[in-house]
Amino acid sequence: MINSGTYIIFIEVAIYLLFMLGIGVYFSKKDLDHGDYILGGNRLPGWALAFSERATGESAYMFLGAIGFIYVTGLSGIWILFGMFFGVIFSWLFLSEKFMNERKKYDVYTLSDYLAVKFPRHSHIIRWLSSIIIGVFFVFYISGQFAGTGKTLYSISGINVTWGTIILSVIIIAYSCMGGFMSVVWTDVVQSFLMVATFIVVPIVAFTEIHAHGLSISQSLTHMGHGGDSWIGGLSGIGLGILLFANFSWFFGWLGGQPQLSSRFMALRDKQEAKTAKVVAIAWTLIVYIGAFLVGIFGITLYKQGTLSDSELILPYMLSHLLPPWATGIFIASILAAIMSTASSQLMVITTSISEDIIHKSLGLKLSSKSLVKISRITVIVGGVLGLILALLSKSLIYTVVSFAWAGIGNTFSAAILLTFFWKRASGAGIVATIVTGFISAIVWASSPLEQIITSRASTFFIALIVGIIVSLLMPDKKAVKNEFITESENEINEQLG
């Protein structure tokens, strides 16, 4: 029988979901052209884009995976946060304005389109390769997010996982379809505030509970064993090196290669907005990461290992035990928010890959802006439905593919973006080789015993980067060769005249 506290949680979560739908309905009534629908049309303030990027970037991994990891490992779990934190800082400080300026310079809307325009002789193969890789990976990625919503709802309410997954997936598809990038960003803003509030309130409440019962954090860490009270996990030598490198390897996926994140950088209006966005994003990340670490550590103190059958549910468990139902409902919504923001952003990546990169650019179909918006909405629905079907039918396959996604998409395109941004000799053939190599090496490496030695989150990045450099040197763009020849000839003439 459902008690009154559970009813309160249901009502609050329902209100939150209806509010998300309301944002979608609001923007569906706006007169949006194709540019507005897929990238906001330069109408979004920097602080909103920063909140959206952070909400999208963290997903359920921070609320469930990272906290659960810290809960079972202890102090050494902090290194996974360090890797992600430095990746976030690097992307905002050194890449965000570059994305903004390059988008304006080349009048592009997507990461794939940017790479294609930069290397026109290889534009078609870059667009098709990028779109296929992103489309395939992201359908599975989305299905994983959809499955996560059902799991979260079940953990707090006992609602059937299948029905929970269907209901929440339909809501995500609906508001993404109706308002496009505009509704996704503004729902992210609400979701981002909920996430910050969670990681401020829960650590304070948990610490108060620890103090009230006279519990010792240091003793709890010592009693958990397995180096839980050590910042380096009680390891040394090669073992320590593997620990630090494996956790820090999350850094490489943040270097411009996640299309759902780089789109926020591309949507920035000007330098002032970019400056505001950087401050907001870095402050948000500090608060959330510190809060996540404290939640994991305080969870160890309050609940002995083995209390939960699934360590990734430590945060929902703490919410239900430490807070009254009305507060639990609000913060449970924040976990759903993390999942929903990522899923909706990934749906937008798929629709822009199809409508902009394939239909508009590769196929060259001459369609009106309104027609492109209709195609984008249809793509959102189709991509969402495919993700929902996979979430319901093939969970094991989903989570296997999702484990490849960070390396297969993030690291692959990070290598391509860094070469394009910071190395003038990068060639179209080199970028194609980078994308193909990254995609293949992510799958092969992660499926082999090598994954236990060096994670594919690092190996994929370096393999793709090295191959891209080698192929660029062996197969330079003709224009680049010509320019170098002209420059050398001019230098020789100048020397003779001098």
pLDDT in tens, 381-425: 888 898 888 888 765 554 455 656 777 888 889 999 999 999 999
Supply the pLDDT for residue 469.
97
DSSP state of 120: G
Supply the pLDDT for residue 496.
43
Average pLDDT estimate for 345-367: 79
Quick: pLDDT tens for 474-484. 999 875 444 44
Burial label for 391, CB within 10 Å (0-12, 13-18, 19+), is buried
Determine the Cα–Cα distance for residues 483 and 146; give it in Å rounded to an integer.
50
Contact in structure between 169 and 387 (CB atoms under 8 Å)? yes
Quick: pLDDT tens for 262-310. 989 999 999 999 999 999 999 999 999 999 999 999 999 999 887 887 7
Which of 406, 409, 381, 434 is CA-nearest to residue 133? 409
Determine the Cα–Cα distance for residues 253 and 259; give it in Å rounded to an integer.
11
Quick: pLDDT tens for 6-19. 788 788 888 888 88
Q: Which residue has the higher pLDDT, 121 or 343?
A: 121
Quick: pLDDT tens for 201-237. 999 999 999 999 999 999 999 988 778 888 887 766 7
Quick: pLDDT tens for 130-182. 888 888 778 877 887 787 777 777 766 667 778 888 888 888 888 888 877 88
Instruction: For residue 495, name the pLDDT band (cuts at 50, 70, 90).
Output: very low
Q: What is the mean pLDDT of the chain?
A: 83
Q: Which residue has the higher pLDDT, 200 or 346?
A: 200
DSSP letters, 416-427, are HHHHHHH-TT--
Amino acid identity of residue 59, one-letter, is S
Q: Which domains does the chain have, with CATH numbers?
A: 4-399 (1.20.1730.10)
Supply the pLDDT for residue 396.
53
C-alpha distances in Å from residue 250, one per residue of 51, 62, 254, 441: 20, 13, 7, 17
Quick: pLDDT tens for 246-267. 778 888 888 988 888 998 999 9
Average pLDDT estimate for 65-88: 88
Average pLDDT estimate for 334-361: 79
Amino acid identity of residue 335, one-letter, is I
Place of tokens 């609602």: 159
Cβ-Cβ contacts under 8 Å for 409 (sequence gap 6 or more): 133, 134, 137, 138, 141, 257, 258, 259
Amino acid identity of residue 146, one-letter, is F
First-to-last alpha carbon distance for the chain, in angstroms, is: 94
Contact in structure between 377 and 177 (CB atoms under 8 Å)? yes
Supply the pLDDT for residue 465.
95
Supply the pLDDT for residue 2.
54
Of the chain, the percentage scoring pLDDT greater than 90 comes to 31
Number of H helices, E strands in the chain: 21, 0
pTM of the model: 0.83
Supply the pLDDT for residue 1.
45
